Structures are given as structure tokens and as C-alpha cells.
Structure 1
Amino acid sequence: MSRSSAQIPVIDISSSNPHAVTQLLDAAANNGFVFVENNAAAGMPPSKVETMFGLSKQFFHGPIEHKQECPTQNNRGWVSMQQETLDPGNQKRGDFKEAFNLGEFNGNKPNQPLPKPFSTQVDTVADFSHSCHALCNKILQLFAEALEIPSDWFSCRHDQSEGPSGSIMRLLYYPSVPDTLAPDEDDIRAGAHSDYGTLTLLFQLPGQPGLEIKTPSGEWESVPVDPHGTLLSDPSKPLPILVNIGDLLAYWTNGLLKSTVHRVIFPKDARRGGEDRYSMAYFCHPLDEAELVPVPSKRVEQYEGGAEGVRKEGQTMTAKDHLLERLAATYGTKA
């Protein structure tokens, strides 16, 4: 049975839309997900996105030796098939996916070893990462305006010139699965989880569905790849960028902004082993030493919903403390 489709608004964040601030806050407060029009204001030209998808496909279909040169260390490098388990309490097997995690860059210099083809296109990869971070900061400034706090309250805590952060560009490949590994009905491509950081940008390709979000009633709804539904009539129109709220932004705002649980499934209308799916996610994190203190917003103070806290008794956690705890749960290790 097909899932109902999630009603996620598409918002133009350019100055031509005087309602962008209110629309963003409403979407984040209602379900934690929003599409942002990929126009000039977003700063992500379709050609730039297409180039990165091309490099991603080259890597995942390249020699295994190139992947093995950069195994996962400190949340960077290659994640092999079923290495991760995002929902360990409910999954029988690890996630049916591969990934490559790219950390932040110092200028155009990577802070990790890069395999081919990324090592031969460092400037391109660095430029894409910087563009993603710039878009996140723009969105965070709009949220600051909506919450009536200083415009740089969030962005100054994400200023990568001031120190390291946990921000990651994650290239994802969900391969079709051969019959010998065909998933059981309950197996999924990426287990149910909320994102660990502040904001996530997700870039998708046409005709590759599978993402679902969990509603407040506990039901799953599918997320459209093309919310406009116009690609068939105008293939040149860029897909909007999907943005979702992470745990830290939810915590900073006492749950006013929702960090929504989501997952990636094998589409029900596809064959049992699914079809290939590619996506790219930019996980925006604060500086490692940023303290998880409440946002000084009257609107947040007056909100009574509450969020699952990451602050321990008598202790204010840092962004790095929180990230390490979440990663430990994902990989089954001690933080």
C-alpha cells in the first residue's frame, strides 16, 4: 500500500519573498522539514549540484581499492554496505547503503585523505561544501530574525574560521540489492533517526523516492522528490533543496523547531531489492566548543512544548560532546 505524501511547503528565501521568515518558522515548527527553492538566493546552481552527483557516482562505482584507502575515522571517510545501523533498537541488519563523509575544508584544503575522483577535483568539492555552509548560515540568519534574536546568534556559532566543527558533506549510495541479499519486509535503507546537528540540506535526483518522515501520530509519510511536479513538463527546472531541522536546533529552541524522525525505505512500488538511489546531505554543525545554551528568545521562552534535552545534570554540553554520543550509538561503540 502506498504511503500518503507529506505536505512540505516550498519556500523562496530570496528578498523578493517578504514572507520567507514567517514561512520558514511555521514549517520548522509544524514538521521540521521545508523545501527551499534552488534559485540565485540559494547559491547552488544546478550545474554545481550535477557535477557533485557525477563525482559521487564515479566514486561508488569505482574500484573497491579506492574506497578502502579511506576507511571511516572520526566520522570521515568511506562507510561500507551495512556498516551503519541508524536505528539499532529496531533494525535486524545494518543499513543497506554506502556513504562517503567529507569533513570541512580549510580554504580548499581537505582535513582528511581523499580517494579518487575527489582527490583530482578538490577545488570543486571544496567549493560545493562552502556553498552548502553558506546556504545554511543564510537560513540560520532567517531563523534568528524569526525568533527576534541577534541575526548572527546562530551563524557566529557556525563560523568555521573560528575553529573546527562536526559539519559533514555526506555522499550516499543506496544500491539495488541482488536476490542473494534481498531485504526482508522490515529491512530499510537507512534506519529511523533524527539528525544530530543544526540543519541538514538534502539534494535528491528525479525518480529516486524512498525518504519518509514520521508524523506526530506515529504514521510514516513519503517525501516527494519533486514537490512542484513540474519536471515532466520542464526538465530544466532545478529540484528544490530539502532542509530539515536537526537535534541541536530543536534543543536550542526548546522544541519550538522540530527535529523530525525520518528514514529511507525500499519503495513499495519497486522490485524487492529496490533501484539505485543517490543523494547528498550536508549536515551543518556548530563549532565543536559551542555550548548548548538556550536561545535568548522570548518566543522560545514562552513555548511550552519542550524538547528532549542533551544537557546533563549540572553540566552544559558542547556540540562536540553531543555529536560523539550520537555517533557512538550509531556505530555501536563507546563515546
Structure 2
Amino acid sequence: MAEPTPIELPVIDISNPHDPAVGKAMLDAAAKYGFLYVNSKGTDFTAEDVDHGFELSKKFFASPAAEKETCRIEPNNRGWSGMHIETLDPEHQRTGDFKEAMNFGDFKDGKAQQPLPPSLKPHESEINDFAGLCNKTCTRILTLLALGLEINEDFFTIRHDPTTGPTGSILRYLYYPSLKSEATKSYKHDKDVRAGAHSDYGSVTLLFQRPGQPGLEILTPEKTWAPVPIIPGNGSEAEKKKYPFPPILVNIGDLLSYWTDGLLKSTVHRVVFPLAEQRSEDPQDRYTLVYFCHPVDTTELVPVPGEVVRLHRERTGGIGEGGIVGFGGGAGSLEAGKRPLTAHEHLMSRLEATYGFKKDE
């Protein structure tokens, strides 16, 4: 069996977040694919920032289970989740995801608002700094999307400002063990995945990846799975030299799709064991750093104003009266009742489906 053909996604330079032409390019990519790359040279991240983030991640996941247990994930979506704890596609998965994760919520005055394990306590300020860079990058992306939608450029950013209240934003360390690991002994080909099919719950997601550790696939409009390259293009040495580190992969979440009545795509995606790894004599672990950008908890999810969204609604009918949120993985959907749904209510419902948490928790 041959590897499926990788999808080609645009690479966008966000160094000038006030350029309407860049906003239009970002809107076009978000409406067509729901995924795009951000040129790493157009951000405030250095290669050292990213390398250090991965070093901290590896240090944490290599620490004893007893230490990780001291910060087990709670209903507020902060903390450590072990192997098979998260089930992103409960309708189709035989078992939970083949991964571990560590989630960091909002920091306040540079301090984590959650327990930190011994391996990470000395690095609290560095984790906070990385999350801050992620938030700054998301602010640029949200500004550009507003320009592309021809609305006030601060429409999204003022609703994602953590200085105005708590948000659901999460910085996440992810570890997917390779097929040579004890943790994957129960893996069954064609039945199990590293992360089940799902769409992201929030507004914008940033994904940092390492060369040689593939696995992400997106569901195309033709309903086939297409791998997403870590380095866009042909993966040649010349292509790699364009970037200080692999371009940040950006995808649209459910909330931006809802806000724009379906104009922006919240594309279903998953993480698999690629065929090349299954055939390899030396399969590699996969590590990623992810930032899930969410609005302030009290934000009401009402459709974006403006002609671009209005014309889309007239042309397609939008996503339905009341606004259905939640597009993938059998994780469930929400319908707004007599008042607009809030960002926090949407997030809590999605987490309940993923982890089995109860709303009253």
C-alpha cells in the first residue's frame, strides 16, 4: 500500500498584521482548507524558543508517572492526561488516544494557576513566556482574518484579550510514543490512531512540529485523508533552509467557523501512525507543542457582522438557525437556546464528551 498524497497548503507571512492583502490570503486559505502555514520568520519566535519548548516537553514526559500524577487533568482542562485517557472520536475509536498530554491554562502575573510537576516548576516563567508568544501570534492571525472579513480589525482580538477575564486558551505538550514503545503494544493496524478524528474546539490552533515526526492528516472535501507535511513543498534541503524552524501550522476551530456562519472551515483532522513508521525498523516518537486559542469565557457566540459573512449566508444558507457548534469526531454538538451560547459553555460541553467530565464538575 502506497502512502497517500500529501496536501499542499499555502504559507503566509504575518510579519505585517495590518496588510489587507495578507488578510485576504489568510481568509481564502481558512475558507478553503481550514489549515495554513505561518512562515516562522514572520513571528516573534526564535528557533531557540521552540527548541527549548520541546526540551521541556520531553523532560516532563520522561519523568516518573508518580510525579505526573500530582497534576492529573481536571475538569478545567488543565493538567496531565495519560495514555488512552482522551478519546477524541468516541463514536469510532476502539480505545482512547495513543498519547499523553500536559495542558497549561492562563497564567496570571507570570504564575501558573494550576499545580506544576517537579520537572517543570523551575521553568514556570519560560512556559509563561512561550504561551505569551503564542498569544501574540494568534492576535496577529485574528487581526488578519478580521481584515479579510472586512470588519473592524479588533473584532476578534478584543474578545480574546486575557487581561479582560479568564479564557479557555491552553498551551499543550503532546507525546505520541512510537510503535517500539511498551505503550503501543496493544495497537492494532487500521483500528487505532494516535489521536481520533476531531475538529478543534476554540478559535485558532497553532501547531509546532519536529522534522521526521509526521502523522497529522486532514479530511479533504472529497472525504479522504490527506497527510500534512511538516515542511511545506517537496521537503528538500533547500526548502528546509527557508525556515529557522518548521513553519507553524494554523487551523481554524469550531468557534471561528460558527462566528462566520461556516465561511471559515473547522476541518476534521487526526494523528496516525504513518505507513512509513509502521514499516520502519527504527520508528520515531512524535512530540508536538500546541496552542489552542479561545475567547474570554463570557464571550457570546453571535455571528460576525459585515457583508462578507452576510453574502456567504445568503449563498449557502449558513450553518443553521441557533448555530450548531461542533463538527467532528462524534464529540457532540451544541445548540444555542434562547440566548447566545458563551465560549465557556461550548468548551465545557466538548470536554465532557472527550473526557467524560460532568457539567456540574
Q: TM-score range by the shorter chain?
A: over 0.9
Kindly provide the amino acid, as one letter, of the partner of residue 324 in structure 2. Answer: G
Kindly tell me: are residues 290 and 327 of structure 1, through their superposed partners in 2, closer, same or farther at Cα, counting changes over 3 Å? same
Q: Does 2:288 match 1:283? A: no
Cα deviation for residue 11 of structure 1 reads: 0.9
| Distance (Å, rounded) in 2 between the aligned partners of 1:119 and 1:190 | 28
Aligned to 2:257: 250
User: 1:9-28 maps to which residues of 2 (within 5 A)?
Assistant: 9-15=10-16, 19-28=21-30
Q: Does 2:235 match 1:238? A: no
| Distance (Å, rounded) in 2 between the aligned partners of 1:217 and 1:262 | 14
CA contact 2:206–2:292 (8 Å) conserved in 1: yes
Question: Bigger shift: 212-221 or 270-279?
Answer: 270-279
| Distance (Å, rounded) in 2 between the aligned partners of 1:270 and 1:294 | 43
Q: Does 2:8 match 1:7? A: yes
SS of the equivalent of 1:88 reads coil
Kindly provide the amino acid, as one letter, of the partner of residue 277 in structure 2. Answer: A
Aligned to 2:191: 186
Cα deviation for residue 18 of structure 1 reads: 6.8
Aligned to 2:337: 313
CA contact 1:33–1:245 (8 Å) conserved in 2: yes
Question: Bigger shift: 307-316 or 273-282?
Answer: 307-316
CA contact 1:266–1:272 (8 Å) conserved in 2: no
Cα deviation for residue 271 of structure 1 reads: 2.6
Kindly provide the amino acid, as one letter, of the partner of residue 88 in structure 2. Answer: L
CA contact 2:23–2:146 (8 Å) conserved in 1: no
| Distance (Å, rounded) in 1 between the aligned partners of 2:169 and 2:33 | 23
| Distance (Å, rounded) in 2 between the aligned partners of 1:69 and 1:175 | 22
SS of the equivalent of 1:19 reads helix
Cα deviation for residue 45 of structure 1 reads: 1.1
Aligned to 2:78: 76
Aligned to 1:329: 353
**TM-score by structure 1 length?**
0.95
Question: Bigger shift: 257-266 or 304-313?
Answer: 304-313
User: 1:130-209 maps to which residues of 2 (within 5 A)?
Assistant: 130-176=132-178, 177-178=181-182, 180-209=185-214
Cα deviation for residue 333 of structure 1 reads: 3.4
SS of the equivalent of 2:125 reads helix
SS of the equivalent of 1:50 reads helix
Kindly tell me: are residues 230 and 192 of structure 1, through their superposed partners in 2, closer, same or farther at Cα, counting changes over 3 Å? closer
| Distance (Å, rounded) in 1 between the aligned partners of 2:118 and 2:40 | 28
SS of the equivalent of 2:137 reads helix
Cα deviation for residue 170 of structure 1 reads: 0.8
What is the RMSD of the two structures over their aligned residues, measured on CA atoms?
A: 1.8
SS of the equivalent of 2:121 reads helix
Aligned to 2:309: 300
Kindly provide the amino acid, as one letter, of the partner of residue 154 in structure 2. Answer: D
CA contact 1:231–1:237 (8 Å) conserved in 2: no
Question: Bigger shift: 234-243 or 56-65?
Answer: 234-243
Cα deviation for residue 66 of structure 1 reads: 1.6
Deviations along 1:148-179, whole A, 9 cap, x unmatched?
11111100001100110100001000012437
Cα deviation for residue 246 of structure 1 reads: 0.3
CA contact 2:20–2:147 (8 Å) conserved in 1: no
**TM-score by structure 2 length?**
0.88
CA contact 1:183–1:272 (8 Å) conserved in 2: no
Cα deviation for residue 4 of structure 1 reads: 1.3
CA contact 1:212–1:265 (8 Å) conserved in 2: yes
| Distance (Å, rounded) in 2 between the aligned partners of 1:229 and 1:180 | 33
Aligned to 1:118: 120
| Distance (Å, rounded) in 1 between the aligned partners of 2:284 and 2:119 | 24
Cα deviation for residue 180 of structure 1 reads: 3.4
Give % identity: 49
Deviations along 1:179-204, whole A, 9 cap, x unmatched?
73233321000000000000000000
Q: Mind listing any 5+ residue stretches in structure 1 that lack a counterpart?
A: none
Kindly provide the amino acid, as one letter, of the partner of residue 357 in structure 2. Answer: T
SS of the equivalent of 2:73 reads coil
The counterpart of 1:270, out of the listed 271, 277, 283, is 277
